[in-house]
Amino acid sequence: MEKNIVVIEGDGIGPEVTRQSVKVLNAIAEQFGHTFHYSYHLMGADAIDKTGNPLPDETIEACLNSDAILFGAIGHPKYDNDPTAKVRPEQGLLKLRKSLQLFANIRPVTTYESLHHLSPLKTKNIEGVDFVIFRELTGGIYFGKKEVNEERTQASDDCVYTREEIERVTHLAFQYAQQRRKKLTLVDKANVLETSRLWRKVVQEIAAQYADVTVDFLFVDNAAMQIILNPKQFDVVLTENMFGDIISDEASVISGSLGLLPSASIGKGAALFEPIHGSYPQAAGKDIANPLGSILSAAMLLDHLGLAREAALVREAVEWTLSNSFVTKDIDPVNFYFTSTIGELICDYVSNRVPGGINKANIELRKSTII
């Protein structure tokens, strides 16, 4: 297989975690006889600094003509701390989603036995947790009309959804549920919001086409509580843009680290794959960030290209590093490994270069010094 992949490294730790994913993709290509062509493009604060534009036209053009997009992260404190900034890194991401019609964000939430102690939830509540959040990505309040009066004492954000926007992500979620445990949960606020009532109506109608999938409904406040109380009850969760943004971040901490979780944004064109964490500028350039969210995003990219066996091998390699305590600082703040070392270890596993017995003394280990 020969594919063209656009790489947007972005800001903060984005470049260093994305580099590990590219190394892993290259190891997969070598092992299975594929060819991946990469082109690198700007977005976010880095793009603003270099071009004045958070999403240059050439980046959009490259993405439109690619087979997939591997993305790092965007964001910088100088924009986060300035609410009056007219140009912001996040504008680039919203524009890219709209330009590529990336209408569905898919976030798997899984736990790892070796990391149960890091979860804020009790072990008995997270064993076997495995669900996926489908978030509508190009509609709702984030893309609605925004107004503020001249005195800046009153503001409004319109939340608008059309039947078509709801239908297309709903069909994807149902199809995904059919390949899993055949349960779908719609999260809305239909007791208060007209947009949520439309969501519920459309999902109820579409459910008749997927008779093998059990459907239930939760108001978003109850869903947020249930994710903490009993996350094992969920299989596929479907929701609108803002609710999905919030509950997917809530669910992400179940595994014990934000650095572990991947995501995919799919639609009518090339799909985009990114870890769910932010740009974490405080760690940028220190080689301490967790690359697993990015590497698992690369596994989702491989799945999207129809390379299921290759994707499974990457996930197996990630599981191997975690079970052998090859982890970054967010997981073990005392005995932790470099970002680049984790990437190399996963490449070694993919390339079948891992010996039967591991001598950890031969692997570069960074230890913290407490003064």
Residue positions annotated with a catalytic role: 142, 189, 221, 245, 249
30 token code pair: 């070598």
User: With contact defined as beta carbons under 8 Å apart, do 273 and 300 qualify?
Assistant: yes
